[in-house]
Amino acid sequence: MAGKILVAYATRYGSTLEVAERIAEKLEKLGHECDCMDFQDVDDITKYGGIVAGSAIQMGKWLPEAKEFMEGKRVFLSKIPVVLFSLGITLSDPTDHVTRKALFATDEICQYVTPKEIKLFAGRLIRDELIDADRDLVILAKPPFGDFRDYKEIEKWTEEIESKYFRDLL
């Protein structure tokens, strides 16, 4: 089986893309060959020996393209290590309730894959970047605005998953 790692993501406003890029960069510094790609751009998954897959959480779910990818590739994904991460603005204040709701967003994905690990990260929400439809929803939900991503935490987690699940791909 191939030793390359795919870091795949679904994003609406770029926050999850930036986290995925940071994960791929860290894995490369640890000696791995990685591709960092939007789920919609992945054509041949068979060249990968492992996957780190992430999505923004919107309306309590992973984005549709991430779900479709995991569902469509589930047979191959059952043969390699899969690690999941989610980004959500509500995780800026990770109470037990918020954390349970964020984990619930991956439950649907876990119908298709059995991840080695699931990690939750606080995301970014910038009012001026929102399209009108999202802005209307945000007004009702009243989440905090700002960038709450913790890149030190993300890099530390990447080191941990590399040593647990991907080290033998070197």
Report which residue type is found at 152.
Answer: K
Packed helices 151-161 and 15-29: angle between N→C axes, nearest 10 degrees:
50
- The answer, yes or no, to whether residue 51 has pLDDT greater than 60, is yes
| Beta carbons of 124 and 150 less than 8 angstroms apart | no
- The pLDDT value recorded for residue 147 is 87
Q: What is the mean pLDDT of residues 118-144?
A: 75
pLDDT at 89: 81
* pLDDT tens digits, one per residue of 105-117: 899 999 999 999 9
Measured CA to CA, the distance from residue 22 to residue 151 in angstroms comes to 8
For the beta carbon of residue 58, count every other beta carbon within 10 angstroms. Answer: 17
For the cut 80, the answer to whether the pLDDT of residue 1 exceeds it is no
Average pLDDT on 59-68 reads: 92
- Which pTM was predicted? 0.89
Spatial distance between the Cα atoms of 101 and 80, rounded to a whole number of angstroms: 27
Q: What is the pLDDT of residue 103?
A: 92
